[in-house]
Structure 1
Amino acid sequence: MDETRIDKPGDGRPGRRLPIVGPGSPQDEGPPDAEASPARPQGMRPAEADQAAASRHPRDAEPLDGVRHVVAVSSGKGGVGKSTVSTNLAAAWAAMGHRVGLLDADIYGPDIPTMFGVSAKPRMVDDRVLPLDAHGVKLMSLGFLVDEDTPAIWRGPIIMGIVRQFLQQVVWGTLDYLLVDLPPGTGDAQLSLCQLVRVSGAVMVTTPQDVAVGGVLKGIRMFETLDV
């Protein structure tokens, strides 16, 4: 199965590819396989579920090398301004002189490229990905690697693998803060993040409506359960 990748400079090969699995497609042999390869740059390891991390309690997670604080930004439901908060918080911290990175872990709806007005593609160095830079913030998002109208049709293990790759195979360097813009809800991305690295704290975003507040309360309890 073809995979999305970004070209290495001067390799002369075609651009990014991503299989679309759906009715009538060549790969349509039933529901999308949880072991199928996700969109990833060439040279990255397959985004498989890390069994050691999956069984690790969040309190045993290790710090991310070179990063002082990993801060999760989450919400109970979509459309409440979570990515806007992530973007403004990252830009504000950078303007204050802090070294800041922003990881877009909202795999199904990566909005950070649009928020920062960035459409460039990351480069590879020694099989690792160099994050893009905008407004003094280092950025990585699946939106940099796949076409804007391409859906992400993946199950939980794939999501965990992508989050792991973005944490461990991106050259973040030395950071004071790495903000992680998570998808809404209390799903695989949140659990994967807390199992893979030590999370210093979480910012929960909501609006005054009951449906949003109820969801964010569940999110707060989830992070408390994960010792964040």
Structure 2
Amino acid sequence: MTAQPAFRADAHADRCTAEVVSVGEDGIRLSDTVFYPEGGGQPGDTGWLTWDGGTTVIRDARKADGPDTVLHVPDAEQPLPPEGAAVTAIIDWPRRHRLMRMHTALHLLCSVIDGDVTGGQIGADKSRLDFNIGSQHPDKEALSEALNRLVAEDHPVRVRSIAADELAAQSELVRTMSVQPPTSGGTVRLVEIEGVDLQPCGGTHVASTGEIGPLRVGKVESKGRQNRRINIHLAEE
């Protein structure tokens, strides 16, 4: 893999060229890829690999030997590219962009709820976070208003890094109790929504909150005595 794979270098890239490194029962490894592998609650990308004389449908992308090594899992009975072949990796961009919008929206949700995140799931149609907030039961209309205000303010979203030992001294930055911070070479990847939120995250995000579009808070559910599950949707749904 390159030092920074295409899906990290530019979350808005929908394709890249690469060489087939290996083809096995577990999937296809490439020298570079725009496919984000499942992790941190975000599903793996789907899409296609094309090469001279063939195309295969990729139904999932998963982590392999490290956080930036991706297994491209083809649909059953698909043609497979030969090792060493030059391919174009193409993601299902509309699906990915929805996941990016949703993932960034969950960061906004973290910023308006005072409590640790105990679980979550990112989907193209619906996403949710579980918060340890005791007996509180947040009002979904007030949450919708707060989230849409942050969207309308169009805060820039940036990626930066911090040394792992610095993060250990700033434990308040880690909001998600169930997912380990994304660490590589002694540094941790941070996603910053300017003036709103800063936390470790390995996922893909939009460039600014305005790109998310209007949001709607769905059900606020009790999941035990301490946990509340907050579901969000893109308002177009």
TM-score by length of 2: 0.26
Q: Which has the higher helix share?
A: 1
Rg larger in structure: 2
Q: Which has the higher strand share?
A: 2
